[in-house]
Structure 1
Amino acid sequence: MGILTLGLNHNTAPVSIRERLAFPAERLHHALQGLIQLPEVREVAILSTCNRTEVYCGAETPTPHETLIDWIAHEQRLRREDFQPFLYTHRGADTIRHMFRVASGLDSMILGEPQILGQMKTAYQSAAEAGTLGKTLGKLFQHTFTAAKKVRTDTAIGSSPVSVAFAAVRLAQRIFDDLSRQTAILIGAGETIELTARHLAENKIGELIIANRTYDKAHALAQQFNGFAISLSELPKHLARADIVVASTASPLPILGKGSVESAIKARKHKPMFMVDLAVPRDIEPEVEQLRDVYLYTVDDLRNTVEENLRSRQEAALQAEEIIDTEVDHFLAWLKAQGAITTIQDFRKQAETLRDEALAKALQALKSGRPPEQALELLAHLLTNKLTHTPSIQLKQAGIYERHDLIAAAREIFQLKDGT
């Protein structure tokens, strides 16, 4: 059985295309059931995230991707020409390597990001629950998780932050030993603020407040992370509560001025405040940096750290590729061995049948009154003759027709030494 990947990701397709091919969690079971009904498909799983949609397929025919494309067009109500130019296909060893690289974060928008491994495990679980995983894909997913864990353990691929949001939270951890006792105010509701909120929540921030010009957007984001929302007009009233402030909006003018921050510091009785301005143009007036008890960092301050860490991850990625090469070879060896499984099973069944026939005759000899020694000799004689009869005939024919390759194979299979 062949294995293949059909999909698109952030490198091949814009978000307007990616979102049209995405499979929400509530539709995934239905989609998997539809795919497994296709004539060529024997096993299938779907990985669907904001940055990629991929179908992993085990199929009898070598190239069922045309059928898969037709199915996607029908399922997502799209024309083939709307999305086909953005697709890629991997087969055999390329599929194995691709899945290992994806799970290890080597194919992610942010090199080495860890979330994709969890998403890959969710894809596996969804396919398992839908009953669309078989022996080959099931084993491939398990080996994928093993390879990704080995990359994480043996390299520094995920040890250094490579997003400004992650770098901001990591810096906050250095300033405050225990984030669970701190309050954070995030200004904005875009992707950077969402990522910052996620990192803070993962590090168990004590209290999270989202401030945004549009209250509904702030409220929707705050709900995801057990925080609460305020409008920008309410910000001065809450600012003194903040130990951590991270701002990232599209405002053309600063949102926080020196005066409002100075008032907040006084209300805090000069308890330190950590501030990060990730916006361009700035959301926090540069003069705020002059205030005592305020630690203000800009996106440029963090970018140097991010670039240095990215270089570190790129070096780790080279090590990761070597690990993946080895793991691909291991899985290919397992896959190739499966081709001999049926032959081995048939050979064992044949041997067991011959054994049972010989044993039946030996038992009959015992019942007839022959001594046990003679019955055992009969059993050994019959079993030896039955097991060697067919191979001996085939080897004689090989000699007659000069099938030296077959004779050499027999010597290797039976481990016959020269002269035996």
Structure 2
Amino acid sequence: MALLTLGINHRTAPVEIRERVAFTPERMAEAFSELRAASGASEAAILSTCNRTELYLAGDDDCAPTVLRWLAGFHELDVADLEDVLYVHRDSEAVRHMMRVAAGLDSMVLGEPQIFGQLKDAYSLAREHGATGSFLSRLFEQTFSVAKRVRTQTAIGENPVSVAYASVSMAHHIFADMSRNKALLIGAGKTIELVSRHLADAGVKDFLVANRTLERAQALAELHGGKGVVLSEIPDHLADVDIIISSTASPLPILGKGAVERALKKRKHRPFFMVDIAVPRDIEPEVGSLADVYLYTVDDLRQVIEENIRSREGAAREAENLISSGVQEFLDQLRALDAVSTLKVFRQRAELLRDVESEKALRALRNGVDPETVLRSLARGLTNKLLHQPSVQVRKAMAEGRTEVTECLRELYQLDALEADEPTTTEKL
């Protein structure tokens, strides 16, 4: 069975194209129905995220040109709009590509874990729509197994490589159990939203979000059961928080040394952990000179991230080796399954010949023919019928110069061993 992967991602296509090629949940049923009908593929799955759209197809033929036309038509694009940004992988390379995607090796952020869950969702959705069969199911399961192996046997996902995640990771150096700590997030943009998610994942349950507009602060805080305030209210709450992470577009500092000093006195010098992601800075640099304040800037994080990227790149090389092994395992599985299928047909044919010759022998016995004659005729007839077609094909192969067929025959029936065991003429005498 042929395997085909077609797709676009953040490396091949700009966001304007990726947006137009994305599949919405509302049109997934329609997409699966049309895709299989247009391509003739017996199995299909669709992965659609903000950074990539990929189609996985299994069938008897290479249907890439047809699928390209369908994909363009489904999203009301010209084929020319996709030709230059589309990549195509076939068979073993398609297997390798899926495993690299699942392990985060093809992601914008090397080793990011979200794509693994997105690929699992894509598989579940394909199953819900009855679009997968034994081939793609086996491929997805092997892919997930290899991706988990990469996660557990390499350091590909251990070191943070985003500012938001690095900020939260560094907080663990100060607070072992973050479920007991309250966080103050200053700003309500995408970076702070990511920070809030990572903090929540790390166990933080008490959130305070401060922003220039109260509505946006409340909207973000409510996602985690927290409270929103305006920037001017920060001094009133400062003594109650332990973790402060700030990222705004303010041209002037929002948090000054004096306010922090007063908060420290109220806290009886329990430590503050602060990360200032903003440029220009939101927290006055002098705050970092205070005892019991651990203040990090975006430059501090950048150094950590660069070191972690180098670490991930080393882990990625280990991951590629694991993926190569995973691809080979999958191909071996397919060959084993193909062997089982071939042997089944081979046995059925042999049993059919056996039954025909057995029935002929039984009729002869019922007609009074000598049993020894019947037995010899049965053995001769069965042998001739079993060997006739292979003999014809071997002669044909040799005439065409395909000597490997005879080598295969010698291996299957261990003819070399038989010749070695056969007695010489002298020994026979």
Task: Return the TM-score normalized by structure 2.
Answer: 0.85
Aligned equivalents of 1:6 and 1:216: distance in 2? Answer: 43
Cα distance change on mapping 1:399 and 1:19 into 2, 3 Å: closer
Question: Residue in 2 aligned with 1:172?
Answer: 171
Contact 1:210 1:227 in 2 (8 A): yes
Cα deviation per residue 1:201-236 (whole Å; 9 max; x = unaligned)? 212212123333344444444444444433334433
- Give the C-alpha shift of residue 277 in structure 1: 0.5
Equivalences for residues 122-271 of structure 1 within 5 A: 122-271=121-270
Aligned equivalents of 1:74 and 1:287: distance in 2? Answer: 59
Question: Residue in 2 aligned with 1:90?
Answer: 89
- Give the C-alpha shift of residue 247 in structure 1: 0.8
Contact 2:112 2:157 in 1 (8 A): yes
Question: Residue in 2 aligned with 1:9?
Answer: 9
Contact 1:276 1:296 in 2 (8 A): yes
- Give the C-alpha shift of residue 282 in structure 1: 0.7
Question: Residue in 1 aligned with 2:32?
Answer: 32
Give SS of 1:144's match.
helix
Aligned equivalents of 1:139 and 1:96: distance in 2? Answer: 11
- The root-mean-square deviation of aligned C-alpha atoms, in Å, is 3.3
Contact 2:39 2:67 in 1 (8 A): no
Query: What is the count of residue pairs matched by the alignment?
Result: 419
Cα deviation per residue 1:309-361 (whole Å; 9 max; x = unaligned)? 21111111112112222222333344455655654332122123234445656
Question: Residue in 1 aligned with 2:301?
Answer: 302
Q: Which amino acid aligns with 1:250?
A: A
Cα distance change on mapping 1:241 and 1:66 into 2, 3 Å: farther
Cα distance change on mapping 1:228 and 1:31 into 2, 3 Å: farther
Equivalences for residues 338-417 of structure 1 within 5 A: 342-357=341-356, 384=383, 386-392=385-391, 404-417=403-416
Give SS of 1:175's match.
coil
Instruction: Indicate the percent of aligned positions where both proteins have the same amino acid.
Output: 54
Give SS of 1:297's match.
strand
Aligned equivalents of 2:208 and 2:42: distance in 1? Answer: 49
Contact 1:29 1:126 in 2 (8 A): no
Task: Return the TM-score normalized by structure 1.
Answer: 0.87
Question: Residue in 1 aligned with 2:281?
Answer: 282
Question: Residue in 2 aligned with 1:48?
Answer: 48
Equivalences for residues 93-132 of structure 1 within 5 A: 93-132=92-131
Contact 2:39 2:66 in 1 (8 A): no
Cα distance change on mapping 1:19 and 1:394 into 2, 3 Å: closer
Aligned equivalents of 1:131 and 1:166: distance in 2? Answer: 38
Query: Which 5+ residue runs of structure 1 have no aligned equivalent?
Result: none
Contact 1:209 1:222 in 2 (8 A): yes
Contact 1:157 1:316 in 2 (8 A): yes
Q: Which has the larger radius of gyration?
A: 2
Q: Which amino acid aligns with 1:77?
A: E
